[in-house]
């Protein structure tokens, strides 16, 4: 080796470094903090405090690293003072949250021609060569930014591989490979600091929730070599399985290796614990193995977290280089949190805060295996979580036919309407080209727990040709298999492996703890007995919204409903309603039975009538046949019901006042069902909710009629019952005039879907078209149908709540729009003094946990001075 240079000697400044805030030698008492030096540095200090065999480490603060990125040089003498002249060093990133990532570790800094010769004597030529070669390559790629392929031609077992590697470096850079360890270290630090400040890295970590100005710390650690004489090697250990959270010693060890090589080359690596599949560290180095287990257990107890340790064995001696939180999916996160609490390591309330409520979706729905390759066709709005694969069908009828053959299908529509309900029930997933978070497909999909992506406008759906064209030109036809990932909005070609939904005992335990702590109610939006059963299974405290109109789309009711709509006289209408009455009554009896005395809030009929009518000529013809009417009559009636702006037209209470017989029938069905269900079980106190109110007089009119029906039913049946009447606040005016509405009702429930639509003047069915542009350009911070707009819509909620409670302090307040299940909205409603939130049944566990976390956080804040 011709290149031998002098090693720079540094003056010693260890004592100064110990107390320096920016370049800090990690001792048990050194000033190191997560917020200033990052999680890795802080964790290493904790390991040092536990007296674990951690090699000497210096932590660089966020400020110091930022200065390095801007071109300043740190005090290299001080930085290198704690290390011996012979030490090789490694540098690792230390961000505040490990999930925000950071540049990869660089090992063996300080190796040069002179050290190489010493190391050949000390560790053997092969080990020294591998170490020097590794450093030159990482330096070339990460510091000199050379193409990683440039070393591909050099075989690792070639005796000249090091010379070749150095030659390749020097030819490419036209410079000698730096020999001064201080220069090497400075350049490594600079490249890592700058990599963190690059735009791509910033965007990536911002996507994971990091603030724009998140800092990076760096830790410089003396290498424990893992290569050389005696038993040397490196590995990684954790005491649980990352996918299940079950207790299992997991990891690998590779002799004569460094860093995370053991994981990269699993086939050559040893198991840790004795294992029938192959040799293990336990057999090879039992003493080191025992120590390793002991240290990792201690880390779990004292760091109060399931940790993964990176370790090195150097001539039989164990070193713990690093500890990081065990990576985990939601399933494992719950089991880990519960078992830490059950072992008395953390209190229950802390276990509750350790699980991201949204991650619970992973347990409630099947998911695409995160390790599987994804062939993405396009993406849209992730409207209902979970994943499912199936053959493409383009109509509800085809979906039903497919289900009848036992074949999974994905229903693809431009957008869905109530007519598609049966098709949606039959499908494994739904995809729509249009729509947003609160459009029909999204609301129904979430209610049913059906994976759904809406607003996938990058896909072109040709319904007539039965073809979907993806943005890359690929065409998919009816019968082709696709996968809908409703958790992240992807539409995937083919059928990637899915992970099963699983709610195990740990999940149940965590939910029980959540209910012990939470102080806001959680109900479910449930329209059908199946929804109600799901709501009960997820321990909802009642139904907060039963959208009764969905019941009219079931089975043969649609025809009767259409007869009612087409009735020319009040008598004909009464006759049709008479036939609908027993069906509604049966629905309500079933709901009351399933809910076993828990409150059930039934919303009176809401949609415009034309939603129940067919929209195409074939449908008109069928209807004419069914009702025995001339086709022209049907067409004329359908046209007469058509509105320019149906969402702002004859719907909700407006229909209830104009065609009062519908609400009369519904009220009667509710009261008769109340009497019936109370006969067998707990007494039922139904709640009746009036939709789309904007004026006090509307409430007075409906209340008078509902009271009259109640009196009539009491008389006829000779049985008493109570009920509560409430208003759904969905128009800005209802929120503003809550003070005059409240005296007439016992509750207000905020329907934030319509309220958002009307506050913004933004169609909930069409917003998907421009929402992503709006969010990208920062017009809206998020889709307001997805995240409650706490500024505008939220202000209306607050005004409504305050004005309502001012005249009626016992007024029950709730939210039942889709926002009801989101942790941020729950926080808002809780702060505003709401009694409960109501959300899709599958979001109930998410809401229970989110609500518990808020209560726990408040307790902690109150406890702190």
- Looking at beta carbons only, is 328 or 651 nearer to ligand PEP? 651
Binding mask 580-609 for ligand PEP (x = CB under 6 A): --------------------------x---
DSSP labels for 433-448?
SS--TTSHHHHHHHHH
CB of 802 to ligand PEP, least distance (A): 20
Q: Is the distance from CB of 250 to CB of 238 less than 8 angstroms?
A: yes
Residues 750-809 within binding reach of ligand PEP (CB under 6 A): 751-754
How many residues touch ligand PEP under the rule CB under 6 A: the total is: 12
Binding mask 803-842 for ligand PEP (x = CB under 6 A): -------------xx-------------------------
Cβ–Cβ contacts within 10 Å for residue 864, how many? 6
Residue 593 annotated as lining a ligand binding site: no
Residue 661 annotated as lining a ligand binding site: no
| Residue 752: contacted member of ligand PEP, Mg ion, none (CB under 5 to 8 Å, by partner type) | ligand PEP
Question: ∠366-368-372 over CA atoms, to 5°?
Answer: 150
Q: Which of 678, 736, 681, 674 is nearest to 706 (CA)?
A: 674
- Looking at beta carbons only, is 418 or 619 nearer to ligand PEP? 418
Which run of H or E residues covers position 25?
strand 23-25
Binding mask 107-146 for ligand PEP (x = CB under 6 A): ----------------------------------------
| Residue 817: contacted member of Mg ion, ligand PEP, none (CB under 5 to 8 Å, by partner type) | ligand PEP
- Looking at beta carbons only, is 443 or 450 nearer to ligand PEP? 443
For residues 356 and 644, give the distance between their C-alpha atoms in angstroms, rounded to a whole number: 44
Judged by DSSP in three states, 156 sits in: coil
For residues 613 and 138, give the distance between their C-alpha atoms in angstroms, rounded to a whole number: 68
- Looking at beta carbons only, is 195 or 450 nearer to ligand PEP? 450
- Looking at beta carbons only, is 394 or 785 nearer to ligand PEP? 785
Tokens describing residue 270: 């040893």
CB of 454 to ligand PEP, least distance (A): 14
Q: Which of 536, 547, 550, 573 binds ligand PEP (CB under 6 A)?
A: 547
Region near ligand PEP per CB under 6 A, out of 189-197, 245-253, 681-689, 749-757: 749-757
Region near ligand PEP per CB under 6 A, out of 98-106, 153-161, 663-671, 748-756: 748-756
CB of 646 to Mg ion, least distance (A): 13
For residues 686 and 676, give the distance between their C-alpha atoms in angstroms, rounded to a whole number: 12
| Residue 134: contacted member of Mg ion, ligand PEP, none (CB under 5 to 8 Å, by partner type) | none
Residue 525 annotated as lining a ligand binding site: no
Binding mask 322-361 for ligand PEP (x = CB under 6 A): ----------------------------------------
Sheet architecture: strand order including 317-325: 247-255, 233-240, 307-314, 317-325
Phi, psi (deg, nearest 5) at residue 307: -115, 150
**Cα 660 to Cα 338, 664, 716, distances in angstroms:** 54, 6, 21
Region near ligand PEP per CB under 6 A, out of 213-221, 309-317, 387-395, 746-754: 746-754
By the rule CB under 6 A, 416 interacts with ligand PEP = no
Q: What is the 3-state secondary structure (H, E, C) of 305-368?
A: CCEEEEEEEECCEEEEEEEEECCCCHHHHHHHHHHHHHCCCCCHHHHHHCCCHHHHHHHHCCEE
Judged by DSSP in three states, 393 sits in: strand
- Looking at beta carbons only, is 225 or 547 nearer to ligand PEP? 547
By the rule CB under 5 A, 765 interacts with Mg ion = no
| Catalytic residue check, 786 | no
For residues 596 and 590, give the distance between their C-alpha atoms in angstroms, rounded to a whole number: 10
Q: Which residue's C-beta sits nearest to ligand PEP? A: 751
Residue 752 annotated as lining a ligand binding site: yes
Q: What is the number of alpha carbons within 13 Å of residue 15 lying toward its C-beta?
A: 0
Tokens 């932590």, residue? 59
Sign of CA dihedral 736, 740, 742, 748: negative
Residue 754 annotated as lining a ligand binding site: yes
CB of 653 to ligand PEP, least distance (A): 13
For residues 725 and 602, give the distance between their C-alpha atoms in angstroms, rounded to a whole number: 10
Phi, psi (deg, nearest 5) at residue 836: -155, 165
Tokens 């099947």, residue? 366
- Looking at beta carbons only, is 22 or 606 nearer to ligand PEP? 606
For residues 394 and 411, give the distance between their C-alpha atoms in angstroms, rounded to a whole number: 6
Residue 495 annotated as lining a ligand binding site: no
CB of 394 to Mg ion, least distance (A): 28
By the rule CB under 6 A, 694 interacts with ligand PEP = no
Q: What is the dihedral of CA 388, 390, 392, 394, to 10 degrees?
A: -70
Judged by DSSP in three states, 637 sits in: helix
- Looking at beta carbons only, is 507 or 747 nearer to Mg ion? 747
Q: Is the distance from CB of 487 to CB of 382 less than 8 angstroms?
A: yes
Q: Which residue's C-beta sits nearest to Mg ion? A: 754
CB of 807 to Mg ion, least distance (A): 24
Residue 603 annotated as lining a ligand binding site: yes
For residues 364 and 232, give the distance between their C-alpha atoms in angstroms, rounded to a whole number: 45
Which are the contacts of 644, defined by CB distance < 8 A and separation ≥ 6? none
Longest pairwise C-alpha distance within the chain: 109
Catalytic residue among 37, 142, 425, 440: 440
Residues 721-740 within binding reach of ligand PEP (CB under 6 A): 730
Q: Which of 80, 140, 399, 443 binds ligand PEP (CB under 6 A)?
A: 443
Characterize 592-614 residue by residue with b for buried, 16 or more Cβ atoms within 10 angstroms of its Cβ, and e for exposed: bbbbeebbbbbbbbbbbbbbbbb
| Residue 443: contacted member of Mg ion, ligand PEP, none (CB under 5 to 8 Å, by partner type) | ligand PEP
Catalytic residue among 43, 816, 829, 839: 816
Which are the contacts of 683, defined by CB distance < 8 A and separation ≥ 6? 597, 721
By the rule CB under 5 A, 751 interacts with Mg ion = yes
CB of 816 to ligand PEP, least distance (A): 5
Q: Which of 687, 754, 783, 789 binds Mg ion (CB under 5 A)?
A: 754
Residues 708-737 within binding reach of Mg ion (CB under 5 A): 730
For residues 465 and 47, give the distance between their C-alpha atoms in angstroms, rounded to a whole number: 65
- Looking at beta carbons only, is 239 or 692 nearer to Mg ion? 692
Residues, the chain, total?
865
| Catalytic residue check, 816 | yes
Q: Look at strands 307-314 and 317-325 and give their pairing.
A: antiparallel
| Residue 432: contacted member of Mg ion, ligand PEP, none (CB under 5 to 8 Å, by partner type) | none
Q: Which residues are annotated as a binding site for substrate?
A: 547, 603, 730, 751-754
Q: Which residues are annotated as a binding site?
A: 547, 603, 730, 751-754
Active site residue ranges? 440, 816
Q: Which residues are annotated as a binding site for Mg(2+)?
A: 730, 754
Contact residues for ligand PEP, defined by CB under 6 A: 438, 443, 545, 547, 606, 730, 751-754, 816-817
Contact residues for Mg ion, defined by CB under 5 A: 730, 751, 754
């Amino acid at each position: 080796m011709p290149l031998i240079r002098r090693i720079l000697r540094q003056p010693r400044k260890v004592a100064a470094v110990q107390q320096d805030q920016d370049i800090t030698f990690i001792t048990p008492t050194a000033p190191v903090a997560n917020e200033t030096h990052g999680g890795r540095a802080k964790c290493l200090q904790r390991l040092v405090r536990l007296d674990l065999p951690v090699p000497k480490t210096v932590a660089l603060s966020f400020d110091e690293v930022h200065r390095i990125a801007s071109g300043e040089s740190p005090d290299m003498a001080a930085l290198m003072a704690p290390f011996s002249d012979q030490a090789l060093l490694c540098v690792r990133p230390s961000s505040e949250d490990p999930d925000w990532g950071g540049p990869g570790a660089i090992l063996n800094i300080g190796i040069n021609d002179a050290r190489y010769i010493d190391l050949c004597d000390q560790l053997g030529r092969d080990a020294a060569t591998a170490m020097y070669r590794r450093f030159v390559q990482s330096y070339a790629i990460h510091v000199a930014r050379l193409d990683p392929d440039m070393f591909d031609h050099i075989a690792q077992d070639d005796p000249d591989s090091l010379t070749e590697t150095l030659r390749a470096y020097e030819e490419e850079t036209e410079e000698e490979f730096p020999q001064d360890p201080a220069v090497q270290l400075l350049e490594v630090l600079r490249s890592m600091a700058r990599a963190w400040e690059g735009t791509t890295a910033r965007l990536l970590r911002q996507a994971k929730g990091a603030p724009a100005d998140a800092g990076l710390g760096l830790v410089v650690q003396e290498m424990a070599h893992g290569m050389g004489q005696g038993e040397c090697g490196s590995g990684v250990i954790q005491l649980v399985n990352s996918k299940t959270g079950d207790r299992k010693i997991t990891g690998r060890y590779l002799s004569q290796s460094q860093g995370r090589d053991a994981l990269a080359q699993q086939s050559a690596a040893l198991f840790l614990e004795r294992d029938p599949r192959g040799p293990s560290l336990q057999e090879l180095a039992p003493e080191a193995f025992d120590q390793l287990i002991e240290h990792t257990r201690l880390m779990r107890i004292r760091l109060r977290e399931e940790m993964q340790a990176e370790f090195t064995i150097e001539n039989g001696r164990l070193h713990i280089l690093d500890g990081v939180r065990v990576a985990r999916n939601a399933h494992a996160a719950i089991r880990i949190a519960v078992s830490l609490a059950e072992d008395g390591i953390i209190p229950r309330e802390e276990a509750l805060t350790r699980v991201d409520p949204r991650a619970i979706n992973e347990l409630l729905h099947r998911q695409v295996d995160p390790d599987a390759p994804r062939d993405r066709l396009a993406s849209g709005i992730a409207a209902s979580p979970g994943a499912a694969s199936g053959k493409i069908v383009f109509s509800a009828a085809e979906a039903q036919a497919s289900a009848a053959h036992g074949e999974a299908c994905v229903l693809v529509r431009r957008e869905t309407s109530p007519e598609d309900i049966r098709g949606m029930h039959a499908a494994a997933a739904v995809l729509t080209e249009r729509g947003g978070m609160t459009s029909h497909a999204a609301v129904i999909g979430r209610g049913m727990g059906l994976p759904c992506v809406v607003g996938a406008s990058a896909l072109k759906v040709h319904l007539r040709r039965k073809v979907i064209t993806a943005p890359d030109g690929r065409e998919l036809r009816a019968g082709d298999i696709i996968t809908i990932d409703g958790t992240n909005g992807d539409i995937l070609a083919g059928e990637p492996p899915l992970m099963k939904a699983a709610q195990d005992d740990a999940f149940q335990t965590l939910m029980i703890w959540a209910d012990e702590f939470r102080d806001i109610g959680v109900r479910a939006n449930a329209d059908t007995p199946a929804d109600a059963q799901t709501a009960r299974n997820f321990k909802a405290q009642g139904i907060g919204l039963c959208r009764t109109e969905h019941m009219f789309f079931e089975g043969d009711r649609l025809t009767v409903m259409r007869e009612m709509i087409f009735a020319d006289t009040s008598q004909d209408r009464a006759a049709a309603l008479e036939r609908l009455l027993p069906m509604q009554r049966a629905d309500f009896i079933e709901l009351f039975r399933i809910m076993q005395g828990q409150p059930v809030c039934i919303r009176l009929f809401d949609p415009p009538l034309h939603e129940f009518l067919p929209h195409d000529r074939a449908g008109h013809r069928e209807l004419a046949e069914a009702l025995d009417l001339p086709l022209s009559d049907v067409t004329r009636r359908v046209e007469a019901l058509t509105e320019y702006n149906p969402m702002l037209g004859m719907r909700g209470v407006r229909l209830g006042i104009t065609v009062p017989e519908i609400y009369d029938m519904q009220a009667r069905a509710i009261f008769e069902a109340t009497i019936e269900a109370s006969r067998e079980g707990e007494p039922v106190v139904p709640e009746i909710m009036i939709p789309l109110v904007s004026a006090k007089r509307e409430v007075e009119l409906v209340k008078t009629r509902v009271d009259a029906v109640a009196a009539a039913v009491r008389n006829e049946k000779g049985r008493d019952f109570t009920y509560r009447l409430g208003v759904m606040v969905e128009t800005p005016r209802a929120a503003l005039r809550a003070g005059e509405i409240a005296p007439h009702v016992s509750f207000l429930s905020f329907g934030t879907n319509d309220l958002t639509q009307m506050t913004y003047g933004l169609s909930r069915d069409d917003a998907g078209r421009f929402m992503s542009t709006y969010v990208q350009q920062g017009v809206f911070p998020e889709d307001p149908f997805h995240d409650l707009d706490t500024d505008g819509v939220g202000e209306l909620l607050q005004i409504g709540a305050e004005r309502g409670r001012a005249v009626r302090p016992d007024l029950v307040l709730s939210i039942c729009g889709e926002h009801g299940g989101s942790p941020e909205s729950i926080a808002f409603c809780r702060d505003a003094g709401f009694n409960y939130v109501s959300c899709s049944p599958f979001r109930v566990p998410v809401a229970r946990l989110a609500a518990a976390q808020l209560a726990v956080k408040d307790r902690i804040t109150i406890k702190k001075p």
